[in-house]
Structure 1
Amino acid sequence: MTAAEPTSAPTTPAEPVFRTARLRDVPDLVALVESAYRGESSRAGWTTEADLLEGQRTDEAAVTDLLGRPDSVVLVVEGEDGAPIACCHVERRGTAAYFGMFSVSPAVQGGGLGRQVLARAEEWARAEWGVSAMEMTVIEQRADLIAWYERRGFVRTGEFEPFPYGDERFGVPLRADLRFAKLAKPLA
């Protein structure tokens, strides 16, 4: 069986088990990220980008690269069976930390696990690196997701980054107006 073929729906443990990702997690992490954002499986949750993009969200090379970078960590939440059911990437960038690759299995979305992952990422960034802010980019057209982050203290900075059209490592856009909005949150 491959990581993309679970035998049953993942379950959230009563108390999430957080750990840092290891190289052996890479295939499972790629499958988790893809399930949360792309294809029909992503439509079971609310984080899908399937109406905006086709193709891949990430691949093994990209995730392996994140694990090998200095000042970079991928945090993982294990399900009851020990397989990843949520993850995020946190990277120190000067006095701020970048938050990305945030994924929760569609089967367990909506139960508060995402809030716990975000809080753990913020705690990690403060404790490990002493940074004063968390930053991220979100596809501007993802109003529901941006609103979720805003309810957790993030604000739009007014800055934007272009979508990497023509680079299929980031997906195949289904519309021509995609761009990333930058969000930031001070960390007390």
Structure 2
Amino acid sequence: MLTAPPTFRTATEADVPALVALVESAYRGDASRAGWTTEADLLAGQRTDADGVAAVVANDSGRLLIAERDGELIACCQLEHRGDHAYFGMFAVRPDLQGGGLGKVILAEAERTALTAFGAPEMRMTVIRQRAELIAWYERRGYRRTGQFTPFPYGDERFGIPQRADLEFELLVKPLG
């Protein structure tokens, strides 16, 4: 059975509670283990909160892109125009829909939007370097590892409670267009 392709729109303040639930379900706790993007073995606690999501929704230099199917929220991602590039973050696909190609569709739409809406020649993102499978997924889609690392914000539980002492982010980049 073929499923309908998702429709896309920019998130509004009214979407914040559903977006928080989606992001949390994709990355943290037992629900996240239904998909392959879980960070539950690396981080406990929250991935985001209503204030964090609301700040992304309200940011004038970007947008939180929502993917829906039949009016139901199934995925999201953050796009932020940062001068010579677009930043990609807060990428979440409903755990029971992961592994079926939906993430590729969302990422392609994010790249198209960054290029057409912002004129950004490059997409950048940061990924926890210990997420080898996730980094490999991005590499298969044209992203390259830079070897540039930034520390995980230890002590700031808004980003989770680290389960190990060596977490850090690596910058990934991809030319667009």
C-alpha separation between the residues in 1 aligned to 2:142 and 2:121? 14
Contact residue 4 and residue 69 of structure 2 kept, 8 A? no
Letter in structure 2 aligned against 1:154? Y
Residue 45 of structure 1: which of 35, 39, 43 is its match?
35
Following TM superposition, the consecutive aligned residue runs of length 4 or more in structure 1 with deviations greater than 6 angstroms are none
- SS of equivalent residue, structure 1 residue 49: coil
Aligned length: 176
Partner of 2:131: 142
Q: Are 2:21 and 1:21 equivalent residues in the alignment? A: no
Q: Are 2:71 and 1:77 equivalent residues in the alignment? A: no
Counting only pairs closer than 5 Å after superposition, residues 21-170 of structure 1 correspond to structure 2 as 21-80=11-70, 82-170=71-159
How far residue 166 of structure 1 moved from its aligned partner, in angstroms, is: 0.2
C-alpha separation between the residues in 1 aligned to 2:117 and 2:95? 30
Q: Are 2:172 and 1:176 equivalent residues in the alignment? A: no
The alignment yields a C-alpha RMSD, in angstroms, of 1.0
Partner of 1:9: none
String of CA shifts for 1:1-54, please: whole Å, max 9, x gaps.
xxxxxxxxxxx9512111111111000000000000000000000000000000
Partner of 1:8: none
- SS of equivalent residue, structure 2 residue 36: coil
Contact residue 75 and residue 89 of structure 1 kept, 8 A? yes
Letter in structure 2 aligned against 1:127? T
C-alpha separation between the residues in 2 aligned to 1:175 and 1:166? 13
How far residue 69 of structure 1 moved from its aligned partner, in angstroms, is: 1.1
Structure 2 stretches of 5 or more lacking a match? none
C-alpha separation between the residues in 1 aligned to 2:136 and 2:172? 11
Contact residue 62 and residue 81 of structure 2 kept, 8 A? yes
Contact residue 28 and residue 83 of structure 1 kept, 8 A? no
- SS of equivalent residue, structure 2 residue 113: helix
C-alpha separation between the residues in 1 aligned to 2:135 and 2:73? 24
C-alpha separation between the residues in 1 aligned to 2:96 and 2:165? 31
C-alpha separation between the residues in 2 aligned to 1:83 and 1:156? 34
